[in-house]
Chain A
Amino acid sequence: MAISLDQGTIEIRWHGRGGQGTVTAAKMFASVAVKRGYHGQSIPMFGLERSGTPVAVYSRVSKEPIMRNDPVRHPHIVVITDPSVMVYLAASRGGKLPESIPDPREGITDETIFIINTPMSPEEAKKILGLEGKPNKVCTVDATKIALEEIGRNVPNTAILGAMAKILPEVVDMETVKEELEESFGASSKLRALIPANLKAMERGYNEVKCA
């Protein structure tokens, strides 16, 4: 069920909302990739820095140096960290999303894998995405619930990274994420105290992600 860097650069598009840590998750992803010895890139597309506005973030990971920095048009992986995207998609009944929300279906191919933060089953999510009968792999994990239970705050990043560890184990693994957390949280004892809970959230993300 995993995809490999042997096929070339892997391109990822993240869909989230300002203030929910999607940019942080994408940065962690790139940082973990670099720690594993690859070339990693994450490009946040900023609006006017308003909390709550939908954001798209682009990542690339490769064994070779990454030359381009244009937006990812045909993602290998679409990560939806904002659970409301699925609600909007369900309400649109296969139609267009409001203009302010980047459409996660844009530019996808039959190979595009979805990793979605939602309480929905992967089958349900696949249907809402209009991908029934298509070869696409759609994976869901209730990262928000995991974050609330383990960390006590709506920061679904580490649970999402757990799910990514299952899809892209070549890049994301528990040990490197731990190293990353220790470095980025290291300066503050208050943040350091959150590392075990984040690792638990990541482990649960890994174990609880389901794909269809």
Chain B
Amino acid sequence: MAVELIKERKTVAMTGNQAIAEAMRQINYDVVAAYPISPQTELMGFFAEYLANGLVDTEFVTVESEHSAMSAVIGAAASGARAMTATAAQGLLYMYENLPIASNWRLPITMVLVNRALSAPLNIHCDHGDAMTARDSGWIQLFSENSQEAYHNLIMAVKIAEKALLPTIVNMEGYIVSHTIGNVNLLTDKEVQEFIGESDWRKNVPHPLLDTDNPVTYGATALPDYYTELKYQQHEATFEAKKYVKEVLAEFNELAGTNYDIIEPYKLEDADFAIVVMGSTAGVARTAADILREQGIKAGVLKIRLFRPFPVEEIVDALKHLKAVAVLDRHDSMNALASPLFQDLAASMYHLPEKPLLHDFIYGLGGREVTVEDMLKAFNRVINLYTGKETRNRFVEYLQVRE
């Protein structure tokens, strides 16, 4: 039985990696499988310390590759275990062929993605390139602004995954969140356990593989006669998932006194212009919006916490009255109209008779520092596009490229 360490709530200074390891300890997963890759390595190091000190009951599988890490947690989750892994960048790509299997099998796995730029060129720093490759994989995806949110998101993700019966990724940006130290309010061990509920292999998934009284097959073939029906069930489940995410967020707000929602508008009600962003840049964007408001420009920010399933109605509702919106994509979706967040936003607003002007900015690639000046530049560009002072040839441009 795991050791109860935190009996009273407390505020500590933690990096994102420390906060995630702390959440993993409090969750006390049945199975964790991982292969090291920067900036995730440190996270698993902290967790391995907890394990070595006998603080968790977890079966920690140190596999020989990310492909095996995902295979191991799929096997564990199908058996009924509460299972988790973490990776980054090419590590995610190496496990990729297993991601749609986890989601179609409806396995409530949680994964922390310590967002890192994809090679080449080799770069260990943050962008969302890894997360964006997983956007069609059927996994739920949450984004975290800081170490506090990463800690909370992982605790919530366990419950979201088990309610929705869909695997869930918690995105935490490499270095800028994973290695930045900040205030983290920790819940007690008991509160976390009570919130997620006891892990019961007979109940974590509806048809555990190890239930020999009720034998089931995982990994069966579905030929043209049934493949469509099995995908349709999954399709419906992804549309249902948003409801479960909202439920869990509401329950969590009740417990922790937070004010989390699937999207987080900032000064949007009376705004003319806004930035839409995910992750750690939200605070910098809010700072820029405040500066513009001091100058009499009605600026706001929309932070998206739930990226998959994409909260179409909520986002449209938050943005439809605006004049122009700068979409910030920390990824370049090469050969596309623009990058993923822009594509989703533009498609979401397509049906509106009157809609804001949308413009896409690719920013923060490979850990490029994101400044308030960058945010002001994005705001000013869309303001000038809206007023006709400037024109554009494309829907997407690089925000920070050095000429």
Min CB gap B250→A, angstroms: 22
Q: In the complex, what residues of A have CB within 8 A of residue B182's CB?
A: 30, 39-41, 66
B283 at the interface (CB under 8 A from A): yes
Complex-state Cα separation, A125 to B403, whole angstroms: 37
A2 at the interface (CB under 8 A from B): no
B contact residues, total (Cβ < 8 Å): 24
Task: List which A18-44 residues lie within 8 A (CB) of chain B.
Answer: 26-27, 30-31, 33-35, 39-44
For B146, B180, B371, which residue has the most chain A Cβ atoms within 10 angstroms? B180
Q: In the complex, what residues of B have CB within 8 A of residue A26's CB?
A: 181
Q: Tell whether A69 pairs with B13 under 8 Å between CB atoms, given A31-B181, A43-B176, A48-B124.
A: no
Task: Say yes or no: A44 contacts B175, CB within 8 Å.
Answer: yes
Complex-state Cα separation, A40 to B15, whole angstroms: 11
Task: List which A34-79 residues lie within 8 A (CB) of chain B.
Answer: 34-35, 39-46, 48-49, 65-71, 73
Of the residues A45, A49, A71, contact of B371 by C-beta under 8 Å: A71
Task: Give the nearest-CB partner of A48 in chain B.
Answer: B124
Of the residues A34, A45, A46, contact of B13 by C-beta under 8 Å: A34
Task: Say yes or no: B11 contacts A70, CB within 8 Å.
Answer: no
Task: Say yes or no: A69 contacts B183, CB within 8 Å.
Answer: no
Interface range on chain A (Cβ under 8 Å from partner):
20 to 34
Q: Tell whether A40 pairs with B183 under 8 Å between CB atoms, given A46-B175, A69-B176, A73-B371.
A: yes
Q: In the complex, what residues of A have CB within 8 A of residue B286's CB?
A: 67-68
Complex-state Cα separation, A33 to B287, whole angstroms: 23
Complex-state Cα separation, A70 to B183, whole angstroms: 16
Complex-state Cα separation, A47 to B179, whole angstroms: 13
B316 at the interface (CB under 8 A from A): no
Min CB gap B9→A, angstroms: 14
Q: In the complex, what residues of A have CB within 8 A of residue B198's CB?
A: none
Task: Say yes or no: B183 contacts A42, CB within 8 Å.
Answer: no
Task: Say yes or no: A68 contacts B287, CB within 8 Å.
Answer: yes
Min CB gap A121→B, angstroms: 33
Complex-state Cα separation, A49 to B13, whole angstroms: 22
Task: List which B27-66 residues lie within 8 A (CB) of chain A.
Answer: 38
Task: Say yes or no: A41 contacts B369, CB within 8 Å.
Answer: no
Min CB gap B191→A, angstroms: 20
CB-CB contacts of B1-21 with A at 8 A, as 1s and 0s?
000000000011101000000
Min CB gap B165→A, angstroms: 35
Q: In the complex, what residues of A have CB within 8 A of residue B183's CB?
A: 34, 39-41, 65-66
Task: Say yes or no: A44 contacts B124, CB within 8 Å.
Answer: no
Min CB gap B59→A, angstroms: 24
Task: Give the nearest-CB partner of B280 in chain A.
Answer: A69
Q: In the complex, what residues of A have CB within 8 A of residue B146's CB?
A: 69
Q: In the complex, what residues of A have CB within 8 A of residue B180's CB?
A: 41-44, 69
Task: Say yes or no: A67 contacts B283, CB within 8 Å.
Answer: yes
Task: Say yes or no: A68 contacts B181, CB within 8 Å.
Answer: no
Q: In the complex, what residues of A have CB within 8 A of residue B181's CB?
A: 26-27, 30-31, 40-42
Task: Give the nearest-CB partner of B174 in chain A.
Answer: A46
Q: In the complex, what residues of B have CB within 8 A of residue A67's CB?
A: 283, 286-287
Task: Say yes or no: A70 contacts B175, CB within 8 Å.
Answer: no
Q: In the complex, what residues of A have CB within 8 A of residue B38's CB?
A: 49
Min CB gap B124→A, angstroms: 7
B237 at the interface (CB under 8 A from A): no
Complex-state Cα separation, A43 to B367, whole angstroms: 13
Q: In the complex, what residues of B have CB within 8 A of residue A35's CB?
A: 13
11 new A-B contacts, CB < 8 A, other than A35-B13, A49-B38, are A30-B182, A34-B13, A40-B181, A40-B183, A41-B183, A42-B181, A46-B124, A65-B183, A68-B284, A69-B180, A70-B284
A-B contact pairs, 11 of them (CB 8 A): A27-B13, A30-B182, A31-B12, A34-B12, A34-B13, A44-B179, A46-B124, A48-B124, A65-B183, A66-B183, A70-B372
**5 smallest beta-carbon distances between A and B, as pairs:** A31-B13, A34-B13, A67-B283, A30-B181, A42-B181
